[in-house]
Amino acid sequence: MSEVRHNWTKEEILNIYNTPLLELVYQAATVHRQHHTAGEVQVSSLLSIKTGGCVEDCAYCPQAARYNTEVKVQKLMQVDEVMEMATRAKNAGASRMCLGAAWREVRNNRDFDRVIEMVKGINGLEMEVCCTLGMLDEEKAARLAEAGLYAYNHNIDTSKENYTNIISTRTYDDRLDTLKNVRKAGMTVCSGGIIGMGESVDDRIGMLHTLVNLNPQPESVPINALVAVEGTPMEDQPPVPVWDMVRMVATARIVLPKSAVRLSAGRMQLGVPGQAMCFMAGANSIFAGDKLLTTPNPEFDEDMQMFEILGLTAKEAFKGDPARKAKAAEAATGVGVTA
Ligand code: SAM
Ligand code: DTB
Ligand code: SF4
């Protein structure tokens, strides 16, 4: 039985990553079956509640104000609009609702008050609620936790060494500080990164090494393949080979045995056979719905067909976490519930 280890060396992780592909997938599938129900995949729904106009300079991101992309700036959505989208997602079979805002950080203002209302409202739908709103200090993290937020997504994106090549407006340590604040407030942590930005294999390994060293390890680890968006500095990056994605997922599964490994951006390029390899290698979560935050994602019906073909089932909300389920129910309000 594999165990959670925080003392993996980079060399050990690199050796895993370089294992012959089918052997690697077999090893990852074995670890996966020790800690998770094979064939069970969490279906999350992603909603951009505030789009574009971001002051940061993340080189991959179409929402950064300084790049000339087709993204149109949209101010923070209303609570009832968000509730309608969440209700629709729940009725379609999603168990987690993830709300994303193109903010550098959370500030104490009316917009934040509104996000708190959204979180409380979605708790009433018995869905896990996740937010990704940029950097958080202790006080804001505590407010989100009190509102019953289940998870906070904040990606480290790449290795510490490569970070300054991708983002100059904040540091790797800023990212880690937010993750500390999320953990301290008692929420679950969702943190991963992106491949396909021109990083080296060592950078991929460095990123996984940072994640395995978090104690506890993040409950959820998104692995994104870059969506190269016109107008961003990454627009000409070639697509990530399917095999790199499979290697990354399998390696993540082995060194982060209990975490949910989330196939995030880039599923359009993978196709069903590529995704099937990733599920075999231990991916057990996806974002469903025809849009991620601003870029295309497979149609919901296509995903359901894929579930049918591969014999996958959707995981129920709060599985194995009754304490957090009770906390979310306690924090719930009837705000704008439309169903
Ligand atoms: N502004 C907040 C932040 O940066 O934490 C939340 C939203 S941000 C869009 C969430 C994550 O989406 C980023 O950390 C990055 O990992 C991922 N992302 C953004 N653009 C992407 C792209 N073009 N391809 C793949 N992943 C992307
Ligand atoms: C994550 O790691 N990937 C999602 C979610 N967390 C917020 C976002 C992907 C965004 C892809 C680019 C876009 O659609 O704008
Ligand atoms: Fe802003 Fe987040 Fe995009 Fe960076 S990734 S530019 S912080 S929305």
Q: Which CATH architecture has domain 10-331?
A: Alpha-Beta Barrel (3.20)
* Token digits of residue 204: 């991929």
Sign of the dihedral defined by the CA atoms of residues 90, 188, 146, 76, in that order: negative
* Catalytic annotation, pick one of 61, 175, 204, 253: 61
* Catalytic annotation, pick one of 143, 175, 262, 267: 262
* Ligand 2 atom nearest residue 264's Cα: 3
* Token digits of residue 282: 């231990």
Write the DSSP assignment of 256-293 as a string of letters.
STTSEEEE-TTHHHHHHHHHHHHHHTT--EEEESSBSS
Q: What is the pLDDT of residue 327?
A: 84
Q: Domain ranges in the chain? A: 10-331
Question: Using CA positions, which residue lies closest to atom 6 of ligand 3?
Answer: 64
Task: Give CA–CA dist 184/68, Å, rounded.
Answer: 38
- Measure Cα distances from 82 to 47, 74, 111, 311 in Å: 8, 14, 14, 31
**Residue written as tokens 């057990």?**
284
Q: Is 58 a catalytic residue?
A: yes
Contact 230, 70 (CB under 8 A): yes
Q: What is the pLDDT of residue 336?
A: 54
Contact 78, 328 (CB under 8 A): no
> Under DSSP, is residue 23 helix (H, G, I), strand (E, B) or coil?
helix
Task: Give CA–CA dist 83/124, Å, rounded.
Answer: 10
Q: Is 88 a catalytic residue?
A: no
Q: Which pLDDT tens digits describe the chain residue by residue (339 residues)?
A: 788 999 999 999 999 999 999 999 999 999 999 999 999 999 999 999 999 999 999 999 999 999 999 999 999 999 999 999 999 999 988 999 999 999 999 999 999 999 999 999 999 999 999 999 999 999 999 999 999 999 999 999 999 999 999 999 999 999 999 999 999 999 999 999 999 999 999 999 999 999 999 999 999 999 999 999 999 999 999 999 999 999 999 999 999 999 999 999 999 999 999 999 999 999 999 999 889 999 999 988 899 999 999 999 998 888 888 888 888 888 887 665 544
Q: What is the pLDDT of residue 326?
A: 86
Q: What is the pLDDT of residue 95?
A: 93
Task: Give CA–CA dist 255/71, Å, rounded.
Answer: 36
Q: What is the pLDDT of residue 278?
A: 98
Contact 109, 312 (CB under 8 A): no
Q: What is the pLDDT of residue 161?
A: 97
Q: What is the pLDDT of residue 323?
A: 86
Q: Is 131 a catalytic residue?
A: no
> Under DSSP, is residue 47 helix (H, G, I), strand (E, B) or coil?
strand
* Token digits of residue 261: 């490994």
Question: Using CA positions, which residue lies closest to atom 8 of ligand 3?
Answer: 102
Contact 117, 335 (CB under 8 A): yes
Ligand 2: residues within 6 Å at CB?
46, 62, 98, 100, 132, 153, 155, 192, 222, 224, 227, 264-265, 292-295
> Under DSSP, is residue 189 helix (H, G, I), strand (E, B) or coil?
strand
What's the burial of 91, exposed, middle or buried (CB within 10 Å: 0-12/13-18/19+)? exposed
What's the burial of 17, exposed, middle or buried (CB within 10 Å: 0-12/13-18/19+)? buried
C-beta 101 within 6 A of ligand 3: no
